[in-house]
Structure 1
């Protein structure tokens, strides 16, 4: 009898928690930070990401990545998604020495480095998997693990995340932290570049009125040559705000982060592309923006 009462009480708590957030189930309240909540079983959602990097030390540089996602809730603990990733780049004499290059440009060996560069392509397909170990709505801390392989003709990646989430003030404040690492295999002209990335992201989102949330996000990115953490390349920091709106029929998130003047280069070629404390070259830009739209179906 006692066990049955405990089960009823637990089910009631979970039900009330889910009802309190039913209008925003499946949403993504932050720009680049994942939360430990998963989509309810049997639900489906379409998401469109528009992720834009702009501005280096001079000239023109715009790097647009589109991610079109179909997301599925499989069980109360597991969700999965398929992404189609595309990229569009425009660059012109944006490097510190006045030449044309930049992140993801993949410029051919025969390219005139003083010319304008344009590139557009379907880049890869990604398979996202998130498994929830504890639920932030009913447990002291939410915890989830994330695995995402990506396959493309020129780009391959295997990414892992550890996702932590803590809610406060009746779930109106969400604090989430992601520890992420990725193994990359990318073609750059006639070369193949192997690298390992390590990211620490943390941020908060506060629901300040019905349907509306806002907050701030921090990222520390570190990159290493080859597979593993033996040869460090650089470290870069980013900071910026996010804003989120959600209804039962759709949700929208916008975020911006700016590179802080705290970059470190650990190799000579990395030190050479640091200006004003920020790292550029083929690594990063001054600004990054993301807009995400989610529609259940």
Structure 2
């Protein structure tokens, strides 16, 4: 009996570091999981999110985030972000002009010329509260809030995060319901918008350190604050790949805009080509690269 008790305690002592090592890792490109960092631990993450390709021409919009995450308690985690971006566009709009997300042409800019800009976007603070733990409860559930402020923009993002693990935690199913309100000051206009996203996906650990999965996203945008004025609905789908070493991890993901867009206004229909929406809204392809370095 004593030997069995000692063996059980030893197994638990070996398991706890492995569970803690998984907490905070991100096997998905864009989807958040309900795992959080243990109290007193923190992690540095870098994100690079690339939107590439529109109706024609040349278009690349690279958004970068530098993040520090910190476990406050066993249920509460906070993070701080520095957000910056780079855009390079030339005659990528459906009408042959230059534009797209991240561009901001003024009255003195050539609408048919190349636009390049490196820009500090904002700083933001993120808070996640874990209601249910996916490793010890039947499923994981967490709530998330992230306000952001920058020279030209104000944002508030809210998420409901759900997660369910199967096959001894080798298979992770996760979903996020996100709502965001945004205010952005452009050279030619003031934009106010509300966005609602439903993102869901799966990640399977097929070998030691390696996971492979799939992510889907439905994005719905509304003019102004609130859900009264529908603008469009777009779908994205693509794979993700995750590698976790002892002292760092990396996730790469790709999403492709599916040709099933719904545009609800004449202005939105003008930037639809091949049943995909472009303009100041989306690109054909989205890529994500995330690198994390935990500190215990």
TM-score by length of 2: 0.94
> Cα RMSD over matched residues?
1.6
Q: 1:187 aligns with which of 166, 185, 188?
A: 185
Residues 254, 287 of structure 2: 8 Å contact kept = yes
- The match for 1:296 is 294
Residue number in structure 1 paired with 2:53: 55
Superposed CA deviations along residues 51-97 of structure 1, whole A, max 9, x for unmatched, are 10000011000000010001101100000000000010000000111
For the 8 Å contact 2:20–2:37, the answer to whether it is kept is no
Q: What is the alpha-carbon distance in structure 1 between the residues aligned to residue 288 and residue 190 of structure 2?
A: 28
- The answer as to whether partners of 1:23 and 1:246 remain within 8 angstroms in 2 is no
Counterpart Cα distance in 1 of 2:217 and 2:26: 17
Cα 1:212–1:41 change in 2 (3 A) is same
CA contact 1:217–1:240 (8 Å) conserved in 2 = yes
- Structure 1 residues 296 and 122: alpha-carbon distance in aligned structure 2, compared to 1, 3 A threshold: same
The answer as to whether partners of 1:126 and 1:150 remain within 8 angstroms in 2 is: yes
Change (3 A) 1:98 1:132: same
The answer for the alignment partner of 1:269 in structure 2 is 267
1:21 aligns to what SS in structure 2? helix
CA contact (8 A) 1:22 1:248 kept: no
Please say if residues 20 and 38 of structure 2, whose CA atoms lie closer than 8 Å, have aligned partners that are also in contact: no
User: In the alignment, which residue of structure 2 is the partner of 1:170?
Assistant: 168
CA-CA distance at 1:36 after TM superposition: 0.4
- Residues 18 and 265 (structure 1 numbering): CA distance in 2 closer, same or farther, change over 3 Å? farther
- Residue in 2 that maps onto 1:245: 243
* Matched-pair contact (CA < 8 Å) for 1:194–1:227: yes
Instruction: Give the 3 Å change call, closer, same or farther, for CA 173–13 of structure 1 in structure 2.
Output: farther
8 A contact 1:24–1:248 mirrored in 2: no
Question: In the alignment, is residue 120 of structure 1 matched against residue 115 of structure 2?
Answer: no
Q: Distance in 2 between matches of 1:120 and 1:227?
A: 28
Instruction: State which of 88, 95, 99 in structure 2 corresponds to 1:90.
Output: 88
Partner of 2:221: 223
How many residues are paired up? 287
Unpaired segments ≥5 residues, structure 1: 1-10
**Matching of residues 101-112 of structure 1 within 5 Å:** 101-112=99-110
Report the CA distance between 1:104 and its aligned residue: 2.0
Cα distance in structure 2, aligned partners of 1:89 and 1:64: 6
Q: Which residue matches 1:8?
A: none
Residue 16 of structure 1 and its aligned partner are, at CA, apart by 7.5
TM-score computed with the length of structure 1 as normaliser: 0.93
Out of 71-80 and 20-29, give the one that drifted further: 20-29
Structure 2 SS opposite 1:35: coil
Q: CA deviation at 1:138?
A: 1.0
Distance in 2 (CA, whole Å) between partners of 1:118 and 1:197 is: 26
SS at match of 2:250: strand
| Residue aligning to 2:5 | none
Question: More displaced, 12-21 or 84-93?
Answer: 12-21
